[in-house]
Amino acid sequence: MKAEKKFIPLTIAVLTISDTRTAAEDISGKVLAENIINSGHSIFEKKIVRDDLYQIRAVVSNWIANMAVNVVITTGGTGVTGRDGTPEAISPLLDKKLEGFGEIFRMISYDEIGTSTIQSRAIAGVANATYLFCLPGSSGACRTAWEKLIKAQLDHRTRPCNLVQLMPRLLET
């Protein structure tokens, strides 16, 4: 009989991207932080920045350069309006894209919000051995993404495979 694997806690940074939200009004960031902590992981840092390509990149670049950060999750800026620029800010930083993430997220979201899900440009990938997930700004979308997609992949015990088991090999060349 195989011994059950132990949970491996990760260090996760949370970035809310919004031109209008304050810390008191950041429900999506709070939802993510609570779910991260309740799942056994820890918060490295939680910040809010304006929906500005360079502010987003600056914060995320610092986090992916810090080897203490395993995962970065952003919320906001994934829509289609003129100010929504998270995918454009993050994509150039990615070493590899997790193409299926956005597709599966939209598939799961379709059951909850119908065709409105096409407005989401959620993306994910790896940069400097750090996983990045860019989620829509709604608390419902953050809850859905965490509970139905991200949580299991950030749990070393998930079978048949998970993202945590790949972490030691992310910097291989």
User: What's the confidence (pLDDT) of residue 3?
Assistant: 64
User: What's the confidence (pLDDT) of residue 137?
Assistant: 95
User: What's the confidence (pLDDT) of residue 145?
Assistant: 97
User: What's the confidence (pLDDT) of residue 82?
Assistant: 86
Number of domains comprising the chain: 1
| Residue 15 domain flag | yes
* Blockwise average pLDDT, block size 10, the chain, 173 residues: 82 96 94 98 98 97 98 95 94 96 96 91 97 97 97 96 90 77
User: What's the confidence (pLDDT) of residue 108?
Assistant: 96
Give residue 44's domain range: 11-168
Question: What is the CB-side half-sphere exposure of residue 150 using CA atoms within 13 A?
Answer: 28
| Residue 52 domain flag | yes
